[in-house]
Structure 1
Amino acid sequence: MHTVEIVLLVLLLGALTGIVARYIRAVPLPLIQIALGALIAWPQAGLHIAFDPELFLLLFIPPLLFADGWRIPKREFFALARPILLLAFGLVLFTVVGLGYLIHWMIPEMPLTVAFALAAVISPTDAVAVSSITRNLGMPEKTMHVLEGESLLNDASGLVALKFSVAATLTGLFSWNEVARDFTWMAVGGLGVGALLGWGFSHARGTITHRLGDVAATQMVLLLVLLPFAAYIVGEKIGVSGILSAVAAGVATNFGDLERSSYISERMQTTGTWSMVESSFNGAIFLLLGLQLPSIIGVTLHEAGHHDAWILVGYVAAISTALLLMRWVWLTLGVHRALSRAHHQGKMAERPSALLNLATTMAGIRGAVTLAGALSVPMVLSEGVPFPARDMLIFLATGTILFTLVLGSISLPLILRYLPRTAESPTLREERLAREQACLAAIARLTLSDEELQKHDAEWIAMRQEVNGHLTQEYRNRIQLLDDGSGTASTVEAQREAPEVVRQRKLRYVLEIEARLDCIRAERDRYYSERQAHRINDESLRSLVSELDLQEVAMRKRLAVARRAAGLPVGDI
Structure 2
Amino acid sequence: MLPFSVPTPLVQIVLGGVIGLSTSHRVDLDPELFLFLFLPPLLFLDGWRIPKDELFKDASTVVELALGLVLITVIGMGFLIHWMIPSMPLAVAFALAAVVSPTDPIAVSAIAARVPIPKRMMHILEGESLLNDASGLVCLRFAVAAALTGTFSASSAALNFLWVAGAGLVIGVVVTLVVTRAKAWVTKRWGEDTGSQILVSLLIPFGSYLLAEHVHASGILAAVSAGVTMTYAEISRQALAATRMRRNSVWDMIQFTLNGIIFVLLGEQLPGILAGARETVAVTGHTQAWWLAVYILVIVAGLATLRFAWVWASLKLTILRGARRGDGTKTPDWRLIAATSVAGVRGAITLAGVLTLPLALNDGSPFPARDLAIFLAAGVIIVSLVLATLVLPILLKGLAMPAEPARQAEEDSVRIEVAEAAIRAIERHQHALAETHGAADVYSDAGGQIMNLYRERIEGLSERQSGAPRASDNLAREFRLVGVKAERAALSQMLRGRRISSSIAQKLTRELDLSEARFSNAGASH
TM over 0.5: yes
Q: Pick from 426, 449, 455 the counterpart of residue 470 of structure 1.
A: 449
- Secondary structure class of the residue paired with 1:446: helix
Matched residue, 1:435? 415
Q: Residues 62, 310 of structure 1: CA spacing in aligned structure 2 closer, same or farther, 3 A cutoff? A: same
Q: Percent identity?
A: 42
Matched residue, 1:445? 425
Q: Residues 354, 41 of structure 1: CA spacing in aligned structure 2 closer, same or farther, 3 A cutoff? A: same
Are the aligned partners of 2:47 and 2:130 in contact in 1 as well (CA < 8 Å)?
A: yes
Are the aligned partners of 2:430 and 2:443 in contact in 1 as well (CA < 8 Å)?
A: no
Whole-angstrom CA distance in 1 between matches of 2:125 and 2:142: 25
2:477 maps to 1:513: yes
Matched residue, 2:215? 238
Whole-angstrom CA distance in 2 between matches of 1:86 and 1:389: 31
- Secondary structure class of the residue paired with 1:240: coil
Residue 493 of structure 1 aligns with an amino acid whose one-letter code is: G
Residue 59 of structure 2 aligns with an amino acid whose one-letter code is: A
Are the aligned partners of 1:142 and 1:350 in contact in 2 as well (CA < 8 Å)?
A: no
2:377 maps to 1:403: no
Whole-angstrom CA distance in 1 between matches of 2:325 and 2:414: 22
Matched residue, 2:513? 549
2:235 maps to 1:261: no
Residue 494 of structure 1 aligns with an amino acid whose one-letter code is: A
Root mean square deviation, CA, Å: 3.1
- Residues 500-539 of structure 1 aligned to structure 2 (within 5 Å): 509-539=473-503
Matched residue, 1:493? 467
- Residues 88-237 of structure 1 aligned to structure 2 (within 5 Å): 88-135=66-113, 137-214=115-192, 216-237=193-214
Q: Residues 461, 454 of structure 1: CA spacing in aligned structure 2 closer, same or farther, 3 A cutoff? A: closer
Residue 325 of structure 1 aligns with an amino acid whose one-letter code is: T
Whole-angstrom CA distance in 2 between matches of 1:136 and 1:211: 50
2:54 maps to 1:76: yes
Q: Residues 351, 439 of structure 1: CA spacing in aligned structure 2 closer, same or farther, 3 A cutoff? A: farther
Q: Residues 225, 492 of structure 1: CA spacing in aligned structure 2 closer, same or farther, 3 A cutoff? A: farther
Whole-angstrom CA distance in 2 between matches of 1:260 and 1:351: 44
Are the aligned partners of 1:517 and 1:555 in contact in 2 as well (CA < 8 Å)?
A: yes
Deviation, structure 1 residue 79: 3.0
Q: Residues 422, 440 of structure 1: CA spacing in aligned structure 2 closer, same or farther, 3 A cutoff? A: farther
- Secondary structure class of the residue paired with 1:259: coil
Deviation, structure 1 residue 516: 1.5
- Secondary structure class of the residue paired with 2:46: helix
Deviation, structure 1 residue 353: 4.2
Matched residue, 1:16? none
Matched residue, 1:37? 16
Are the aligned partners of 1:42 and 1:294 in contact in 2 as well (CA < 8 Å)?
A: yes
Matched residue, 1:11? none
- Secondary structure class of the residue paired with 1:42: helix
Whole-angstrom CA distance in 2 between matches of 1:25 and 1:262: 40
Matched residue, 1:251? 228
Are the aligned partners of 2:430 and 2:447 in contact in 1 as well (CA < 8 Å)?
A: no
Deviation, structure 1 residue 246: 0.8
2:325 maps to 1:330: no
Residue 221 of structure 2 aligns with an amino acid whose one-letter code is: L
Deviation, structure 1 residue 231: 1.0
Whole-angstrom CA distance in 1 between matches of 2:25 and 2:316: 47
Whole-angstrom CA distance in 1 between matches of 2:402 and 2:79: 43
- Residues 264-303 of structure 1 aligned to structure 2 (within 5 Å): 264-303=241-280
Whole-angstrom CA distance in 1 between matches of 2:459 and 2:341: 43
Whole-angstrom CA distance in 1 between matches of 2:417 and 2:137: 45
- Secondary structure class of the residue paired with 2:79: helix
Are the aligned partners of 1:40 and 1:47 in contact in 2 as well (CA < 8 Å)?
A: no
Most deviating of 63-72 and 216-225: 216-225
Deviation, structure 1 residue 440: 2.4
Residue 417 of structure 1 aligns with an amino acid whose one-letter code is: K
Deviation, structure 1 residue 543: 2.9
Whole-angstrom CA distance in 2 between matches of 1:24 and 1:275: 28
Whole-angstrom CA distance in 1 between matches of 2:187 and 2:36: 29
Matched residue, 2:504? 540
Deviation, structure 1 residue 340: 7.6
Residue 311 of structure 1 aligns with an amino acid whose one-letter code is: W
Matched residue, 2:338? 358
- Secondary structure class of the residue paired with 1:496: coil
Residue 254 of structure 2 aligns with an amino acid whose one-letter code is: V
- Secondary structure class of the residue paired with 2:519: helix
Which TM-score applies when normalising by structure 1? 0.83
- Residues 16-35 of structure 1 aligned to structure 2 (within 5 Å): 26-35=5-14
Question: What 5-or-longer segments of structure 2 have no aligned partner?
Answer: none
Deviation, structure 1 residue 384: 4.1
Q: Residues 179, 353 of structure 1: CA spacing in aligned structure 2 closer, same or farther, 3 A cutoff? A: farther
Are the aligned partners of 1:193 and 1:231 in contact in 2 as well (CA < 8 Å)?
A: yes
Q: Residues 495, 351 of structure 1: CA spacing in aligned structure 2 closer, same or farther, 3 A cutoff? A: farther
- Secondary structure class of the residue paired with 1:447: helix
Whole-angstrom CA distance in 1 between matches of 2:291 and 2:24: 28
Matched residue, 1:5? none
Are the aligned partners of 2:105 and 2:129 in contact in 1 as well (CA < 8 Å)?
A: yes
- Secondary structure class of the residue paired with 2:115: coil
Which structure has more RCO (C-alpha within 8 Å, separation ≥ 6)? 2
Alignment length (residue pairs): 521
Deviation, structure 1 residue 550: 2.3
Are the aligned partners of 2:5 and 2:110 in contact in 1 as well (CA < 8 Å)?
A: no
Q: Residues 179, 511 of structure 1: CA spacing in aligned structure 2 closer, same or farther, 3 A cutoff? A: same
Are the aligned partners of 2:488 and 2:512 in contact in 1 as well (CA < 8 Å)?
A: yes
Q: Pick from 382, 388, 393 the counterpart of residue 368 of structure 2.
A: 388
Are the aligned partners of 2:134 and 2:221 in contact in 1 as well (CA < 8 Å)?
A: yes
Q: Residues 167, 450 of structure 1: CA spacing in aligned structure 2 closer, same or farther, 3 A cutoff? A: closer
Which TM-score applies when normalising by structure 2? 0.90
Residue 182 of structure 1 aligns with an amino acid whose one-letter code is: N
Question: What 5-or-longer segments of structure 1 have no aligned partner?
Answer: 1-22, 499-508, 563-573
Q: Residues 204, 336 of structure 1: CA spacing in aligned structure 2 closer, same or farther, 3 A cutoff? A: farther
Residue 220 of structure 2 aligns with an amino acid whose one-letter code is: I
- Secondary structure class of the residue paired with 1:528: helix
